[in-house]
């Protein structure tokens, strides 16, 4: 997801996406705890996506 796509979304859409990504991250962390993931970089990428979305939400609120 590119930053330009994120900036075009409304705050409600962004909050929904952040919640979806957070839920997915939680599930992947549990799976990784049971059995190592093929690519643990997926966890890092999800955390970065969540951070980007939260940054844009903060920018739009101020």
Handedness of CA 52, 36, 31, 37 (dihedral sign): positive
Q: What pLDDT is attached to residue 23?
A: 98
- In angstroms, the CA 11 to CA 61 distance is 8
Domain 3-61 CATH (choose: 3.40.50.300, 1.25.40.10, 1.10.287.310, 3.30.70.270) = 1.10.287.310
The alpha carbon of residue 32 and the mean position of all alpha carbons in its chain are separated, in whole angstroms, by 17
* Mean pLDDT of successive 10-residue stretches along the chain, which has 62 residues: 90 96 97 93 96 95 88
Q: What is the pLDDT of residue 6?
A: 92
Torsion sign, CA atoms 5, 7, 8, 13 = positive
Q: What is the structure's pLDDT at 53?
A: 96
pTM for the full model?
0.89
Phi, psi (deg, nearest 5) at residue 54: -65, -35
């Amino acid at each position: 997801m590119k930053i330009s796509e994120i900036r075009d979304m409304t705050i409600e859409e962004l909050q929904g996406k952040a919640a979806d990504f957070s839920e997915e991250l939680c599930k992947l962390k549990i799976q990784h705890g049971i059995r190592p993931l093929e690519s643990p970089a997926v966890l890092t990428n999800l955390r970065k996506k969540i951070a980007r979305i939260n940054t844009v939400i903060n920018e739009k609120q101020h």
